[in-house]
Amino acid sequence: MIETLSAKAPDPLLKIIKMFREDVRSDKIDLGVGVYKDATGNTPVMRAVKDAEARLLANQTTKTYVGQQGDAEFLRLVAELVFGDAGAEMASIQAVGGTGALRLGCDLLRESGAKRVLLPAPCWPNHPSIVRAAGMAPIDAPFFNIAEQRIDMEALLGAFAQLERGDAVILQAVCHNPLGADFSAEQWAMLADALNARGITPFLDLAYQGFGDGIDEDVAGLRAFLARVPEAVIAVSEAKTFGIYRERVGALFVKTAEKARPAVMSNLAAIARANYSMPPDHGAAIVREVLGDATLRESWRDELDGIRAHIKRTRAALAAARVNSLPMHLIAAQKGMFSTLPLNEAQVMVLREQHAIYMTDTARINVAGLREADIPRFVEALKAVA
C-alpha cells in the first residue's frame, strides 16, 4: 500500500539548493546549481532564443503532437551540429532533456542485453540512479586523481575487465561534470581500441557543447572516437548550449549498421511510448529556429562565445590565486562549468556555515556561476579552510 512507503534520502544537490535559498545572509555565494550566471548573478535568456520564440508565437498554427520521433528537423540540425556529415547516418529520437535521453539510452542498452554500466568516478551524480532505474548495475571505476587533478587512464582501462561483452560504459564527451577534465585525442583513441577489443558499448553523454573551446572544437574528440567504433549511443542535451534549461531539450542518437536502424527505432519508440508517449515541442522548436536561420545562428554563436569567454576569465582569475596547498593553477587548464577542489566534507561544511559559500559535499564548484565580484571573498574563504 502507498501508506507503507518510506521516505527517500534527498538528492544531494537539491538539498544544497534548498539550504542556499533558506540562507538569509546577503553575501551568500551559490556554487552548487549547474547553470551559467552573468555578472549580475542572473541566468539570461539568449537574444536568439527570444527572437526564435517571437517567430514561433507569430507563425505557429497548431499545438498538436509532433510525433513519436519528435521534431525531425530539430534532430537533423542537432545531428549536424554534433556529428557533422556523420549525423545523417544516425538513428535518432527527441527526448525530455539530456536526462531523458540518458534514460532512453539505458533502457535501449538493457533491451540489447547489457547488464552492467561502467561509470568513471567521480561521475555526474544522477548517472548511477538512471542506470539502476533502467534495471542495470552501475559499476564505479575511479579514474581521476583529484589531488593531482589528472586522468588516470591506466586505472580506467583496467576497470573494463569488470565488464562482459555487450555491457556499456558512460563517457562524458566534453567539459566533464564534476571535474572539468577532458580526454585528449590520444586518450579517445585508446578508449575506442580498448572498447572494441572487449565488445563493450560506449554511451557518450554530451551536455556542454560550446562551453569548452568552441562549438566544433568541443566535439572533435567525440567525432574521432565515433569514427573508430562500430556502435555507440549518444545522449545530447541543449539546455546549456542554448540557455534553455527549463525547456528540457534533448535527443538520443545511435550509431549502428544501416540494417539495424529500423529495429533500433522501433525499440526507442516503444520505450518512449511507455514513458512519456510524445515529446514536448517548444524547446526543440526554439533550437530548430535558431540553427535553421543564418542570422539567429550567428547571434547565438556570438553570445555563446561570450559566455565561454566569461567562464575562461573566471578560471584564469581562480588559477592566479594562491591558496596554501590547493592546486588552483590547474583550474585554468580545465574546461566548462565545473571543477572539483581537493577539499574534504568538513572543509565544505565550514565554507557553508561560516562563509555562506555553497558547493556540493564533494567540493564540486560551478565556475560558471561565480560572479567576478565574489572571487576575492571566495579565495579568502578558501584560505581560511585549506
Catalytic choice (30, 205, 281, 374): 205
Place of cell 560504459: 169
CA separation for the pair 212, 180 (Å, rounded): 9
Contact 115, 167 (CB under 8 A): yes
Active site residue 188: no
Active site residue 124: yes
Catalytic choice (141, 168, 173, 207): 207
Task: Give residue 171's identity as a one-letter amino acid code.
Answer: L
Catalytic choice (30, 71, 79, 240): 240
Catalytic choice (124, 141, 181, 251): 124
Contact 101, 250 (CB under 8 A): yes
Active site residue 240: yes
The three cell numbers of residue 153 are 587512464
Catalytic residues: 124, 205, 207, 240
